[in-house]
Amino acid sequence: MLLKFGFCLPIFAWPGARLFRAPAYPSLDAATTMRLGRLADQLGYHSLWVADHLMLGQDEAILEGWTTLCALAGMTARAQLGVIHYNHAFRHPALTAKMAATLDQISGGRYIHFIDYGNQPREFLAYGLHPDDAVEERIAQMVEGLELTLKLWSAREPVTFAGRYYAVAGAVCRPTPVQQPHPPVWIGEAHPMLLDAAARYADAWNSVPVGLEALRQRLAELRAACARVGRDYDAIEKTYEVQILIASDRDELRRKLDAMLALIPPGERPADVVAFARGEAAEPPAWMRETWLIGAPDEIEAQIRRFAELGVTHFMLWFTDAPDESGMRLFAERVLGKSGA
């Protein structure tokens, strides 16, 4: 089975007790972040990803995702490029179609369209971009917006579209994307409406880190959604976003965790992580082993294999030791080349 591995750029820093996504990044530095993206492309990672938020992390400081992705396209040559959970509430779907087609042209056909409904209302409310509609309403808007985007990508004539939420009159999207019939469409998560949308429109479905058992249940729900609309479940690629901490041995693993813990006020450090980092526990906490990839290269390979047995073929990796390059380099040297792991 051919496996793909993506590198998620730390476009925000988040040292703190949650140990979330970028816990070893003391303070955001744009040049450092972009250097890591270029290095990932050079090391052979199959895809490069940026988050889509306007306020997140330490001091709410985060690079804007689409701008970052476009800059990254000019700095790289091989990897596919995508925005994680591209937020429909931030950009009109007709403009999205034009932006995405342009990026696909500039990058030589490397764009992935990973669309989402926008699950952080505080951001689009703060920026005055969208009303605080119910989740189901926002998903319905996302689906109609995706239909409009797809129509613009494929139309040979000017598009007039009058939907419940969006309308265009004589809109033209040329040049069209390089990838035909269109860039790959990804939809993620387990809300019933999103699963139905994935069954109808998606080339791939994605899950955030939930662990093996929860993922197995989510995939069963995706299979049921496919059955409802007559879609071949196996035609949809399964992808998984996950945090990773890889080290050559236990001592190095503990040193990396200790460096993350040092950025957290003493009273807020998770006791179970501290116990492992100090050598008082033989294994990382159960929650880490369930929802991270963690350990030496052979342990990481075994963990990946278990997800692959469920059908996952594309892993989006958040290297929690970033901006330290050692983890992404070790993974590239010892795991990435074994794409049949």
This prediction's pTM: 0.97
Q: Looking at residue 96, which CATH number applies to its domain? A: 3.20.20.30
Q: Residues in the chain with pLDDT < 50?
A: 341
pLDDT of residue 339: 62
Using alpha carbons, list the distances in angstroms from residue 11 to 58, 116, 180, 301, 323. 11, 19, 30, 27, 10
pLDDT of residue 1: 75
Closest CA to 28 of 43, 7, 10: 10
Is 98 inside a domain boundary?
yes
Q: Which amino acid is at 165?
A: Y
Is 23 inside a domain boundary?
yes
Q: For 166-184, how does the pLDDT look when each residue is reduced to its tens digit (9 = 90+)?
A: 999 999 999 999 999 999 9
Structure-token pair, residue 16: 């703190």
Phi first, then psi, for residue 247 (nearest 5°) are -150, 160
Strands 185-188 and 204-207: parallel
Is 264 inside a domain boundary?
no
Is 49 inside a domain boundary?
yes
- Total domain count, the chain: 1
Domain extent at residue 161: 4-252+291-336
Report cis status (omega within 30 of 0) of the bond before 175: yes
pLDDT of residue 111: 98
Report cis status (omega within 30 of 0) of the bond before 323: yes
**Backbone Cα Rg of the chain:** 20
pLDDT of residue 154: 97
How many CB atoms lie under 10 A from the CB of residue 18? 11
pLDDT of residue 179: 98
**3-state SS assignment for residue 25:** coil
| CA 107/CA 142 separation, integer angstroms | 25
Q: For 182-202, how does the pLDDT look when each residue is reduced to its tens digit (9 = 90+)?
A: 999 999 999 999 999 999 999
| CA 328/CA 150 separation, integer angstroms | 35
Is 106 inside a domain boundary?
yes
Is 117 inside a domain boundary?
yes
Non-local CB neighbours of 58 within 8 Å, separated by 6+ positions = 12, 13, 14, 15, 16, 27, 28
Answer whether 11's CB lies under 8 Å from 68's CB: yes
Is 328 inside a domain boundary?
yes
Phi first, then psi, for residue 94 (nearest 5°) are -70, -40
